[in-house]
Amino acid sequence: MTVSGSGISVDGTVAVDDPSTFLDETATGISGTIAIRGERFAMIDVPQKTSELSAFHHGDAASDGAIDIAVSGQIDIQGGEFLAATSAAGRGPDILLSADGVGLADGESAVRIRGTEVSIGSLGAGDGGTFEIGAPTVEIGGPETNISALAVDSGAGSPILIRGSDGGAAETVTISDSATLFSQTRDAGPGGAIAIESAQVSVIGGAELISQSRTDGPGGAISITSNELHVRDDGLIVTQTTGSGSGGDIDLGRADAPIGTIEVADGGQVVTETTGTGAGGDIVAHADRFWIHNEAPGSDTFVFTLTRTDNAGPGGSIEIHATDVDVESGGQIFTLTDGMGQGGSLALVDVDTLRIQGEVEGAQAGVILPSSLAARVGGSAAGTGGGLSIDARVVEVLDGGEIASRTSGTGPSRTA
């Protein structure tokens, strides 16, 4: 089935179970919208065949076009492709997926995406449109699931936003099984932000949230607002810069909306890194409890910022505002310089109780990792290490835990 034109409207319960194409494209004017409304939308690809929903904008006027799917029940996407882009000066089309749950019981309204390729962004001077999911329950999984927001010229990249259908917070957002949310800028345009608002957020099972700047444009920030955040079982949240653009920050909670519990566990990692001249992003967390632990020997469970290589810019800082900070079972929080760039600072602010306890065998066989807070200078480094400061009412360091300011290279460490 192929449907094309400037403005496509489909009503009722929609099931796409044969290879199908919905295409909206305009060369000069304002593109229309692929609008699908009903109780349920399902796109289930048959093996070796791909369905596609695409919206392209090639004009200089801003596009009001979109791939807009809004249902009351469930959006179930297994396979297929969603594509939306602008190649000129006009803003690109949006991709909007909404399940509002009106009149349905809890758990009956959800957006589920698995084995699907989504690409949205800017190929020219115009800004990319927004990729937005709004639903009480959001599940994104599968190693072939890749949601990419790109900026390849001077236009801004597309933001990726996941929240409730009413504009508030979702109930649960789970990103799992090696699925990837990816924002990248390859030129002067800024990268798009990745933002998640949900009562519970899980980045687990090798899933990745990645923001990357490759040249001049600043990378997009990654922000999570939640009551519970779990980054575990090899889940990864990372921002990177390999060029002159600054790396994106990672913001976990806000001062006016702290997360109840932030858990990084069992191979989970939260990282910012610079290998170019641009500054690395900062990691800032606001929580009632910040808990990092590793019950999975043979894995590394880290929260860290890194600057490396001879031309690297300064590394990002880590700032944790929490009532309780628990660093256990070989979990580590640190900043590291392993090149010419200055290392970022590590600060714990307004903490009631800090507990650092235990150790574990890490990913490198035979290497025992202590639970640790540290500012480090690596063996290849000439840059100055970052500072380490702790503002806490009670500090407990037990059973092999450590607090360290350490240098292994020619660069000096700083006072802890």
Q: State pLDDT tens for residues 254-311.
A: 999 999 999 999 999 999 998 888 999 999 999 999 999 999 989 999 999 998 876 6
CA distance 55 to 61: 15
Neighbours of 19 (CB within 10 A): 16
Q: Please tell me the predicted confidence (pLDDT) of residue 407.
A: 62
| β 359-361/368-370 pair status | antiparallel
pLDDT of residue 64: 64
Rounded CA gap, 327 and 291, in Å? Answer: 6
Cβ proximity of 327 and 292 under 8 Å: yes
What is the structure's pLDDT at 408?
A: 56
Which 8-state DSSP code applies to residue 298?
T
- Summarize pLDDT for 204-244 with one digit per residue, the tens: 999 999 999 998 899 999 999 999 999 999 999 999 999 89
Q: What is the pLDDT of residue 200?
A: 98
Model confidence at 12: pLDDT above 80: no
Separation CA 360–CA 157 (nearest Å):
41
- CB contact at 8 A, 283 and 318: yes
Share of the chain above pLDDT 90, in %: 57
Of 376, 374, 308, 375, the C-alpha closest to 340 is 308
Q: What is the DSSP string of 157-209?
A: PPPEEEE-TTSS-EEEEEEETT-EEEEEE-SSSPPPPEEEEEEEEEEETT-EE
pTM of the model: 0.92
Q: In whole angstroms, how far apart are CA 406 and each of 22, 325, 369?
A: 58, 22, 15
Please choose, from the candidates 163, 298, 252, 142, the residue with its C-alpha nearest in 3D space to the C-alpha of residue 205.
Answer: 142
